[in-house]
């Protein structure tokens, strides 16, 4: 569909039933205008069922109008636009519980809400894919829709997951990349693998599995960790992926796994034993095998002097950065001084 060319699809009149509804499709949106619809089934403003882009912040919105009374729910952490990549969306509407809605993105449940209302069983005469049935919401979907389905019943979570998996074959041979489901991850270009026990991935598209924190645990393929019961405990999982123990060790000179800490001293385990040769500065802490740093408190970690060799160097770490200095797009991960030889690595900022 091209919004610039006012393209959309109209569907003949039909009546929605009272036993439940499910809408499901693959869609993509490339900078669609505000209020752009994936679907809008109704007969004007009084009775409509729609999925659209919020006009203010561009978030995903699901809405039902019943006799001019509006019910809606927004996905606060998900933008409607997909930068022209495909996503699968499924929305179930159950008449029980004063209207129970469940939303799935790429087969994963992201929303459940009760008392949201259930659409009237009325003849719907303005039914569109890519267009609103309200004249004031004139912006159209700029993107595409595949495999659109409407069921006159509520699909279960397992049925939605099966539908998502089965319809991925629509993209065989295409340039489309699909997100791994929650509870799994993948390397670049690789197949999805299940997160090992003791780790989890909370949302689709994760590139690694997070370690469960102390006091919690998980089974393989989990999307969350479960707290230990009273009278039991757990320590953080050291392995974040099945390839953890296969990492190369030949030539390893410094290795901070952040599981050996004594006061402000941090252990280097490159030699196979713990050598406390690094220091936490200005209140920096280590938690769940992570060096935690606050720029506002000038925190970092310093490493004792050493000499780099002549056969080549490799630096590697996981890191994360939360809103760096606005004046610069570059953040210091490694910092060395101005001396030529020997170089002294004066700080390694590894946050993750």
| Low-confidence residues in the chain, pLDDT < 50 | 238-246, 324-332, 336-352
User: Which residues lie closer than 8 Å to 56 by C-beta, 6 or more apart?
Assistant: 34
Both tokens of 336, joined, read 């060395």
pLDDT score for 15: 92
Strands 334-336 and 21-29: what pairing? Answer: unpaired
Q: For residues 105 and 167, what is the distance between their CA atoms, to the nearest angstrom?
A: 13
Task: Provide the β-strand partners of residue 261.
Answer: 266
Q: Which of 215, 39, 219, 66 shows the shortest CA–CA distance to 132?
A: 39
Both tokens of 314, joined, read 């490799």
Q: Which of 121, 90, 84, 118 shows the shortest CA–CA distance to 104?
A: 90
Both tokens of 293, joined, read 């740093």
Is the pTM higher than 0.85? The answer reads: no
pLDDT score for 330: 40
Which ranges of the chain would DSSP assign to H, the alpha helix? Answer: 157-166
Q: For residues 64 and 80, what is the distance between their CA atoms, to the nearest angstrom?
A: 18
Q: For residues 109 and 159, what is the distance between their CA atoms, to the nearest angstrom?
A: 12
Task: For residue 193, count CB atoms less than 10 angstroms from its CB and return exposed for 0-12, middle for 13-18, buried for 19 or more.
Answer: middle
Task: For residue 185, count CB atoms less than 10 angstroms from its CB and return exposed for 0-12, middle for 13-18, buried for 19 or more.
Answer: buried
First-to-last alpha carbon distance for the chain, in angstroms, is 41
Q: CB of 77 within 8 A of CB of 53?
A: no
Task: Supply angle C-alpha 18, 70, 40, rounded to 5.
Answer: 65
Q: CB of 237 within 8 A of CB of 214?
A: no
pLDDT score for 352: 31
Q: Which of 286, 236, 275 shows the shortest CA–CA distance to 252?
A: 275
Q: What is the CA radius of gyration of the chain?
A: 26
pLDDT score for 207: 66
pLDDT score for 26: 93
User: Which residues lie closer than 8 Å to 262 by C-beta, 6 or more apart?
Assistant: 276
Phi, psi of 61 (to 5 degrees): -130, 140
Task: Provide the β-strand partners of residue 73.
Answer: 62
Phi, psi of 300 (to 5 degrees): -165, 180
Q: CB of 129 within 8 A of CB of 38?
A: yes
């Amino acid at each position: 569909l091209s919004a610039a060319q006012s393209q959309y699809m109209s569907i003949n009149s039909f009546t929605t039933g009272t036993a439940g509804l499910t809408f499901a499709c693959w869609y993509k949106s490339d900078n669609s205008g505000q209020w752009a619809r994936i679907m809008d089934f109704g007969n004007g403003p009084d009775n409509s069922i729609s999925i659209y882009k919020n006009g203010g912040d561009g978030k995903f919105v699901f809405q039902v109008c019943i006799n001019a009374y509006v019910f809606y729910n927004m996905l606060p952490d998900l933008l409607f636009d997909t930068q022209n990549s495909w996503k699968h969306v499924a929305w179930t509407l159950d008449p029980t519980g004063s209207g129970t809605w469940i939303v799935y993105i790429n087969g994963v449940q992201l929303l459940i809400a009760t008392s949201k209302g259930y659409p009237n069983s009325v003849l719907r005469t303005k039914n569109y894919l890519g267009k609103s049935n309200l004249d004031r919401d004139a912006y159209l979907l700029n993107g595409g829709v595949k495999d659109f389905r409407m069921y006159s019943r509520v699909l279960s979570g397992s049925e939605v997951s099966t539908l998502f998996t089965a319809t991925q074959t629509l993209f065989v041979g295409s340039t489309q990349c699909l997100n791994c489901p929650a509870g799994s991850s993948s390397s670049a270009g690789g197949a999805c693998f299940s997160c090992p026990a003791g780790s989890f991935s909370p949302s689709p598209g994760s590139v690694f599995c997070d370690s469960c924190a102390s006091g919690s645990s998980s089974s393989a393929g989990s999307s969350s960790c479960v707290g230990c019961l009273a009278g039991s405990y757990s320590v953080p999982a050291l392995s974040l992926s099945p390839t953890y123990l296969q990492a190369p060790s030949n030539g390893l000179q410094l290795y901070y796994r952040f599981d050996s800490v004594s006061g402000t001293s941090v252990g280097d385990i490159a030699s196979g034993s713990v050598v406390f040769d690094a220091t936490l500065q200005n209140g920096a802490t280590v938690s769940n095998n992570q060096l935690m740093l606050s720029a506002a408190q000038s925190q970092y970690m310093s490493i004792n002097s050493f000499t780099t060799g002549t056969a080549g160097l490799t630096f590697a770490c996981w890191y994360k950065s939360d809103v760096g200095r606005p004046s610069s797009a570059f953040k210091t991960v490694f910092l060395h001084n101005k001396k030529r030889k020997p170089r002294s690595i004066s700080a390694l900022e590894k946050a993750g």
